[in-house]
């Protein structure tokens, strides 16, 4: 694989560019179908922020929609294995060693769905421990209808490049500003939260910003309401986690 493939992922400035560069590189190596899923705030309590799973895929849209609509992703054998292991495994080996999980209804549905779309012959790459307090995995399939031997041949030729680039892609996804479902704060709301996080009182913040204490209180309240926080401390944390504060 040319070094330019790695440079494209490293130098990307948006999630869309990272994903497009990774897709092109995997296609050149022989994996046309990709399914990537990740979480980047595993240590954050759900009460603070409800994180959505980050997903991008080149697999058929109906396949992806069915997986998400039926909540099959986290219950699939691929997700179960990637949460407990590092490295990679073929679907053939995964199903051979995971008969206990395959007996579960949701796991069975995900396997059957992949088989129906001709995507069962795939390679799972676990991205566990690649990024602190985050987790991810990518499933790679040569093409719809590929056999297990087809997948094995592609993997044998390019496993080092795939492993390294997948880890680089995951690290870039973790570090770049990603779209968020939390509303964007105004400049003034960010200012009052920043000074509050620095230990300044409402009165001190008012003097620093040249506004009244009542105006500071108003913008703190609006900031809390915007991010769904119950207090200013939670608003500061949520704004930081969504890359609006200290970014």
- Asked if pLDDT for residue 85 goes beyond 90, the answer is yes
Residue 181 in any domain: the answer is no
State which residues form the domain around 11: 3-175
Residue 180 in any domain: the answer is no
For residue 144, give the DSSP letter: T
Of the three residues 149, 175, 201, the one that is the final residue of a domain is 175
- Asked if pLDDT for residue 45 goes beyond 80, the answer is no
Helix (H) or strand (E) holding 123: strand 123-126
Backbone angles phi, psi at 171, to 5 degrees: -65, -40
- Between 96 and 137, whose confidence is greater? 137
Work out the mean pLDDT of the chain and round it to a whole number.
90
Q: For residues 128 and 227, state if they share a domain.
A: no
The tokens 């900031």 sit on which residue?
A: 223
Q: For residues 117 and 168, state if they share a domain.
A: yes
Q: For residues 163 and 204, state if they share a domain.
A: no
Q: What is the pLDDT of residue 132?
A: 81
Give the span between the Cα atoms of 114 and 128, in whole angstroms.
23
- Between 63 and 104, whose confidence is greater? 63
Q: For residues 193 and 139, state if they share a domain.
A: no
Q: For residues 81 and 135, state if they share a domain.
A: yes
Q: For residues 198 and 135, state if they share a domain.
A: no
Q: For residues 194 and 78, state if they share a domain.
A: no
Residue 182 in any domain: the answer is no
Confidence of residue 107 (pLDDT cuts 50, 70, 90): confident
For residue 58, give the DSSP letter: -
Residue 153 in any domain: the answer is yes
Q: What is the pLDDT of residue 216?
A: 96
- Asked if pLDDT for residue 50 goes beyond 70, the answer is no
- Asked if pLDDT for residue 44 goes beyond 80, the answer is no
Residue 246 in any domain: the answer is no
Give the span between the Cα atoms of 57 and 23, in whole angstroms.
9
What CATH number is associated with residue 170?
3.30.450.80
- Residue 77 gets the label, from left (phi > 0), alpha (psi -120 to 50) or beta, of alpha
- Asked if pLDDT for residue 211 goes beyond 80, the answer is yes
Residue 84 in any domain: the answer is yes
- Asked if pLDDT for residue 102 goes beyond 60, the answer is no
- Asked if pLDDT for residue 79 goes beyond 50, the answer is yes
Total number of domains constituting the chain: 2
Residue 123 in any domain: the answer is yes
What CATH number is associated with residue 218?
1.10.10.10
Q: What is the pLDDT of residue 103?
A: 46
Q: For residues 83 and 131, state if they share a domain.
A: yes
Q: For residues 82 and 202, state if they share a domain.
A: no
Of the three residues 155, 175, 195, the one that is the final residue of a domain is 175
Backbone angles phi, psi at 246, to 5 degrees: 60, 25
The DSSP bridge pattern shows strands 123-126 and 135-141 to be antiparallel
Sign of CA dihedral 79, 32, 66, 166: positive
Confidence of residue 98 (pLDDT cuts 50, 70, 90): low
Give the residue-averaged pLDDT of 186-203.
95
Residue 204 in any domain: the answer is yes
Q: For residues 129 and 231, state if they share a domain.
A: no
Give the span between the Cα atoms of 15 and 175, in whole angstroms.
10
**What count of residues does the chain have?**
247
Q: For residues 113 and 224, state if they share a domain.
A: no
Quote the crossing angle between the two packed helices 61-69 and 105-116, to the nearest 10°.
170
- Asked if pLDDT for residue 147 goes beyond 80, the answer is yes
Q: For residues 216 and 120, state if they share a domain.
A: no
Q: Are 65 and 86 in contact (CB under 8 A)?
A: no
Greatest mean pLDDT among 24-28, 45-49, 70-74, 110-114 lies in 24-28
Of the three residues 175, 203, 222, the one that is the final residue of a domain is 175
- Between 230 and 132, whose confidence is greater? 230
- Between 48 and 201, whose confidence is greater? 201
- Asked if pLDDT for residue 139 goes beyond 70, the answer is yes
- Asked if pLDDT for residue 113 goes beyond 90, the answer is yes
């Amino acid at each position: 694989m040319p070094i330019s493939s790695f440079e494209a992922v490293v130098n990307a400035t948006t999630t869309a560019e990272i994903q497009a560069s990774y897709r092109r590189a995997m296609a050149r190596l022989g994996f046309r179908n990709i399914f990537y899923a990740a979480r980047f705030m595993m240590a954050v309590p759900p009460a603070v922020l409800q994180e959505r799973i980050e997903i991008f895929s080149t697999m058929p849209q109906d396949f992806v929609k069915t997986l998400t609509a039926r909540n099959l992703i986290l219950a699939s054998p691929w997700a179960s294995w990637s949460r407990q292991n590092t490295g990679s495994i073929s679907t053939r080996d995964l199903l051979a060693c995971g008969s206990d999980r395959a007996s579960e209804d949701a796991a069975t549905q995900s396997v059957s769905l992949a088989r129906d779309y001709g995507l069962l012959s795939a390679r799972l790459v676990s991205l566990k421990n690649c990024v602190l307090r985050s987790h991810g995995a990518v499933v790679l399939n040569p093409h719809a209808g590929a056999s297990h031997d087809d997948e094995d041949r592609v993997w044998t030729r390019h496993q080092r490049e795939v492993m390294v680039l997948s880890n680089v892609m995951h690290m870039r996804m973790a570090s770049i500003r990603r779209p968020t479902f939390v509303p964007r704060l105004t400049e003034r709301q960010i200012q009052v939260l920043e000074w509050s996080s620095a230990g300044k009182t409402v009165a001190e913040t008012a003097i620093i910003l040249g506004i009244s204490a009542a105006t500071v209180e108003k913008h703190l309240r609006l900031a809390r309401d915007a991010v769904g926080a119950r207090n200013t401390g939670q608003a500061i944390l949520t704004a930081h986690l969504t890359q609006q504060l200290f970014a």
